[in-house]
Amino acid sequence: MVQQLEPVDVVTIGAGWTGGIVAKELAQEEYQVVSLERGGERETENFFTVHDELGYALRYKLMQDLSKETITFRNTVDEPALPMRRYGAFLPGSGEGGAGVHWNGQTWRFLPYDFEIRSRTIDEYGEEKIPENMQLQDWGISYEELEPYFDQFEYTAGIAGEAGNVEGEIQEAGNPYEGPRSREYPLPPMVETPVLERFKETADDLGFEPFQAPSANLTESYTNPDGVQQGQCEYCGYCERFGCEWGAKASPITTVLPAAQETGNFELRTHADVVELLYDEEEDVVEGVRYVDRRTDEVYEQPADVVALTAYVLNNVRLLLLSGIGEPYDPETGEGVVGKNYCYQNFGASARGFFDDENWNLYMGAGALGASFDDLNGDNFDHSDLDFLHGGNVALNQTGDRPIANNPVPEGTPSWGSEFKAQSLEYYHSSISVSAQGAVLPFRENYLDLDPNYTDQYGQPLLRMTFDWREQDRNLVEHIGPQLEELMAEMGADRVDATTTLEGSFDITPYQSTHNTGGAIMGADPNESVVNNYLQCWDAHNLFIPGASAFAHNSGYNPTGTVGALAFRAAEGIQEYLDSPDMLADAES
C-alpha cells in the first residue's frame, strides 16, 4: 500500500551538491524542504579509518550498489547494450553528500566560450566548421549571467586558488583565459611542490601560461558565509574515492547540509529511493514523488509544490524517462530531448615521464593539488586550420600515489614477473604524468535512453548509454598529445611514454572519469532542450533539474564548479517560482 505524506514546499531527489544547495537556499528562506537520499547518512567522523585504498578505492565503499541499479552500455546503436556489471570507467556515488563526498575537489568555472559555443563558433569560423552530426548548442545563459552563482558556490565551498581575471583585470599568477570574476578566491592556492614547480617552469619556457589549479581541498581553516567551518587540508593523499576525516575537502556534508539542518526547516530522509515522479501531463506539473524506504520496503508518496531532480546525471535522465516527462530523444531523427547530448571526458592525450636520477615524495598529495594551463582549452587557440573544436585543460596533478594503483612501468615492460616488479619499484617515486582533460562535444548518436531488456531491483528498465569516440575526439588527442610529449621531455624525463592517438572505441572497463554529462540539457528552445536557464523543466513547470545533466556539452574541465553554479541558479529560480508559479523564461525557437 502506498502511504500518502503531508505536502511540503520543496522536495529534492538526492542530497548531494545540487540537492544540498537547493535545500539550504530554500530552507534559509523559511520554506519546508525534504531531501530524499537513497543511501545512508554520512558525516566526517565516519572517515577516521578512511586511509584504506582497498576498501574505498578498489571495493568502492562510497559508490552506488550495482546489484540494485546500474546502466547498460554499448558503443553503437546497432549493438545490444550489456549491463555495467562491475565498476570501471566512472563511479556514481550514493549516500548523503553523494559523489560530492568522494570527489577530488578540482573546481573550475567553464569558459565564457562554453555557454555560447555554437554562436561563437559560427561567428569565428562559420557554420560549416561544425560537423554535420555534432549537435552543438548554446546553453541559453551567458557566463556573465552565471558569474554570481559561481561566486556563491566558491565562497560556500571555500575554494583555494589564484584569480586570473578580476573584473577584467588580468592577474599575473592566475589563469589569464578564465572569465572575469567579481573577486578573488576565498582561500589562497595550494602549496607548490617540487614536481608542480617543474611543470610550471617548463610550461612557461614553452610559452604556455601555467597556474596553480583551483581546489576544494581547503588551504586554511575556513568559515563560510553560512557560518559553517571546515578544516585545513593535510595533503595525506586520500581524496578521490575517499571521504575526508579532517573535514577539509568541501562537500555537501561539510557545507550546505549542516547549514540546511540548522534552519529547522529541513528534513533529510535517507534510504529513500525515488522510483517515479508523479507527473500530471495535462497541467504540466509534477505533483510529488514516489519512493521506497529501503529499510522497510514501504512505498510513500511525497507531494511537493516544487520538485528538484537532483540525483546524479544518469539518474536524473532515467527518472525523467521512467516518469514520462519530456519527449525521449531519437537518434535516428534527432528529435526529442530527454537523453540528448550525452557527453563524457576525453583523457586520451597524456605523457608519462620516467626519471632515472630523481625521486619525489609522490605519495603525499591532495585531490586538487595540481598545476595547469589553459592555452589548449576552449577556443583559447586558433582552430581555423584544425579539424576539431574546443580542447582541454592540461594539468599535472599530485593527488597522492597510493601503492596498489600505482605501479608505473615503461611501455614494453611485461605486466608481471621479476621485470615488472623491478621496473615498478624503480619508478614508483620517479614517474609523473601530464594529461589533457579533453572536452567532449555532443554527437547525434551519443545518447541515453531506457534499456529494453535489463531491469533494476524493482523491475524498472535500466538506463542505456550509447557512446563512442568520434573523429573530433581523435583529432583533439592528435593535436594535444605531441605537445604533452614535448612538455614532459622538456621537464627532464629520461623516457617519455606518450599517448598521442585515441585508438579504438570507448571502453567502459578502465577508470577514466566520473564526468558524465548531458541528457537533460538547458537551452532557450523547448524543442532543443529539457530545461530553461533557471533549470526549470519546459514540460513540468514546478520541476527543476540542476546538475551536469543540464550541460549542453562537456568542457575541458572537471564539472563540479559549474554544477554548483547551476544549482544556485536553480535555487533562485525555485524561490521565484514559489512566489509566483509560472515559467521563468520565455521559450525561443
Partner 1 sequence: MRVGGGLAVFGIAAPAEGTFDPEDFDVASMQEIEEVEVEEQGLEYFTIQQARVVHDLTARIYPSDDNGPGAPEAGVVYFIDGQLNSAWGRGERWYMQGPFAGKDPTSPFEDDPDEPEDVDPETEVPWAEQNPSETQGWQYALTPNEAYDQAIWAIEEHTQSAYDADSFADLEADQQEEIVAALENGAVESFDRVDIDASGFFLLVRQNTLEGMFSDPMYGGNREMIGWRLKGFPGTPGALGSYRSLIEDDEYIELEEGDYRRLADDIDSLGIDGDNEVPANEQSEEGHAHVHDAAEADYPNVVDEAAARGETEIEATSIDLDDADDGGDQ
Residues tagged active-site: 515
Q: How would you class 510 by CB atoms within 10 Å of its CB: exposed for 0-12, middle for 13-18, buried for 19 or more? A: exposed
Looking at the Cβ atoms of 133 and 424, the one nearer to partner 1 is 424
Instruction: By CB under 8 A, tell whether 247 contacts partner 1.
Output: yes
By CB under 8 A, name the one of 7, 40, 80, 492 that touches partner 1.
Answer: 80
Shortest distance, CB of residue 140 to partner 1, whole angstroms? 28
* Beta strands, E only, 281-402: 285-293, 298-309, 340-343, 350-354, 370-373, 392-397
Instruction: By CB under 8 A, tell whether 74 contacts partner 1.
Output: yes
Looking at the Cβ atoms of 161 and 186, the one nearer to partner 1 is 186
Instruction: By CB under 8 A, tell whether 575 contacts partner 1.
Output: no
Looking at the Cβ atoms of 18 and 499, the one nearer to partner 1 is 499
Q: Within positions 422 to 461, which residues make up the interface with partner 1, using CB under 8 A?
A: 422-423, 425-426, 428-429, 435, 450, 452-455, 459, 461
Q: Specify the stretch interacting with partner 1 by CB under 8 A; choose among 63-71, 106-114, 296-304, 381-389.
A: 63-71
Its sign, for the CA torsion 155, 157, 161, 167, is negative
What's the distance, CA 31 to chain centroid? 28
Q: How far apart are CA 349 and CA 346, in angstroms?
A: 8
Shortest distance, CB of residue 87 to partner 1, whole angstroms? 9
Looking at the Cβ atoms of 63 and 111, the one nearer to partner 1 is 63
Q: 47 and 325 in contact (C-beta within 8 Å)?
A: no
- Which H or E element spans position 268? strand 266-269
Instruction: By CB under 8 A, tell whether 29 contacts partner 1.
Output: yes
Long-range contacts of 91-94 (CB under 8 A, 24+ apart): 91/60, 91/63, 91/241, 91/511, 91/514, 92/63, 92/64, 92/312, 92/314, 92/315, 92/514, 93/16, 93/39, 93/62, 93/63, 93/64, 93/312, 94/38, 94/39, 94/62, 94/63, 94/64, 94/65
Q: Within positions 183 to 202, which residues make up the interface with partner 1, using CB under 8 A?
A: 186-187, 191-194
Q: Which residue has the cell 587540508?
A: 233
Looking at the Cβ atoms of 12 and 44, the one nearer to partner 1 is 44
Instruction: By CB under 8 A, tell whether 66 contacts partner 1.
Output: yes
Instruction: By CB under 8 A, tell whether 494 contacts partner 1.
Output: no
Using DSSP, state whether 406 is helix, strand or coil. coil
By CB under 8 A, name the one of 9, 96, 116, 245 that touches partner 1.
Answer: 245
Q: 306 and 75 in contact (C-beta within 8 Å)?
A: no
Q: Specify the stretch interacting with partner 1 by CB under 8 A; choose among 376-384, 420-428, 514-522, 571-579.
A: 420-428
Q: What angle do CA 89, 334, 450 make, to 5 degrees?
A: 50
Looking at the Cβ atoms of 171 and 512, the one nearer to partner 1 is 512
Instruction: By CB under 8 A, tell whether 259 contacts partner 1.
Output: yes
Per-residue cell: 396? 599535472
Shortest distance, CB of residue 496 to partner 1, whole angstroms? 11
Instruction: By CB under 8 A, tell whether 49 contacts partner 1.
Output: yes
By CB under 8 A, name the one of 205, 281, 411, 494 that touches partner 1.
Answer: 411
Instruction: By CB under 8 A, tell whether 504 contacts partner 1.
Output: yes
Q: Within positions 149 to 168, which residues make up the interface with partner 1, using CB under 8 A?
A: 155
User: Residue 118: what residue type?
Assistant: R
Q: Within positions 362 to 381, which residues make up the interface with partner 1, using CB under 8 A?
A: 363-365
Per-residue cell: 395? 594539468
Q: Within positions 216 to 235, which residues make up the interface with partner 1, using CB under 8 A?
A: 220-235
Q: Within positions 93 to 122, which residues make up the interface with partner 1, using CB under 8 A?
A: none
The CA-based diameter of the chain, rounded to the nearest angstrom, is 71
Q: Within positions 512 to 541, which residues make up the interface with partner 1, using CB under 8 A?
A: 512
Rounded to 10 deg, the angle between the 17-28 and 256-263 helix axes is 30
Question: Residue 210: how many CB atoms within 10 A of its CB?
Answer: 23
Q: Within positions 553 to 572, which residues make up the interface with partner 1, using CB under 8 A?
A: none
